[in-house]
Structure 1
């Protein structure tokens, strides 16, 4: 299983307000929940989110960190 019980990857209640997502590269704020065009990466045990522009600009570096089973 990759998710926490209750179907939440964030833990806690879904009624609690979540802080806005911020792009780890350029600092852009997401309008609302995680947009489908944003990328989530776990680096050193910490989730980092990247806006679509930063993800697109750094796609080769992102893919280079994936195990070959993913590509």
Structure 2
């Protein structure tokens, strides 16, 4: 398997070509460092900043008490 110019196979496996919000389906046109990344049942999901803000309580509620 070959890699795109300037990248490696490991880098391409880390992030999808375009980010799609797992909740609302918004597609990021450019890298979005303010999006949330979640791994649920071994699957990496990305949540846009709007959905993250709207669902903050639910996100915090799933954290173990050790995080607090």
TM-score class normalised by the smaller sequence: 0.7 to 0.9
Higher helix fraction (1 or 2): 2
Cα RMSD after superposing both structures: 2.2
TM-score by length of 1: 0.70
Unaligned runs of 5+ in 2: 1-7
Match of 1:37 in 2: 34
- How far apart are the structure 1 equivalents of 2:44 and 2:12? 21
TM-score by length of 2: 0.73
Unaligned runs of 5+ in 1: 1-10
Post-superposition CA distance 1:15-45 (Å, at most 9, x none): 79x4200000010011222x12110111111
Q: Which has the greater radius of gyration?
A: 2
Post-superposition CA distance 1:36-64 (Å, at most 9, x none): 21101111110110000000000011111
